[in-house]
Amino acid sequence: MTLLFELATWHALAKLRLHTDTTLGFLETSTTRLGKALRHFDVGVCSDFHTVELPQEETARRRRMAKADPKGKQKPEESQKKKKCLNLTTYKLHALGDYADTIRQYGTSDNYSTQTVSVIIFTHSYLHVIK
């Protein structure tokens, strides 16, 4: 329950449409608490459960293996479901610590998008595409 509370608190603070120095301080503190809660969850909870890949992940992995090895020399241990565990070393989790500074620099997250935009400009008889 602690992890769920920390996730909800962090998300609510990160998605505020108006920030002050105080709310950004709260966000930084919440980020620290969230990191601790995630590490505690990884060590204290995840290690107690045996988790394996989903059926669609297994199917996709087998398809990739079959494509890479067309002669069908598949190893027996590769034909079973692989063990899956929580990975805390992803970029998404690493970037959580940058949210407060990014908000200070660019404003709240509803003010901008990371989506690539293409603009088409017609000049004279030429067509220019700017990305």
Q: What is the pLDDT of residue 53?
A: 92
The model's pTM is 0.69
Q: Using CA atoms of 18, 24, 29, 31 in order, give the dihedral in degrees to the nearest 10.
A: 70
Reading the chain (131 residues) residue by residue, the pLDDT tens digits are 899 999 999 999 999 999 999 999 999 999 999 999 999 999 999 888 989 999 999 889 888 888 887 776 666 555 678 888 889 999 999 999 999 999 999 888 777 766 666 665 556 655 555 55
Supply 31's token pair: 């980020």
User: Rg of the chain's alpha carbons, rounded to an integer?
Assistant: 23
Q: What is the pLDDT of residue 69?
A: 76
Distance (Å, rounded) from C-alpha 104 to C-alpha 89?
Answer: 25
Q: What is the pLDDT of residue 122?
A: 58
Q: What is the pLDDT of residue 125?
A: 58
**End-to-end Cα spacing for the chain:** 44
The residues, any chain, with a CB within 8 Å of residue 114's CB and separated by 6 or more, are none
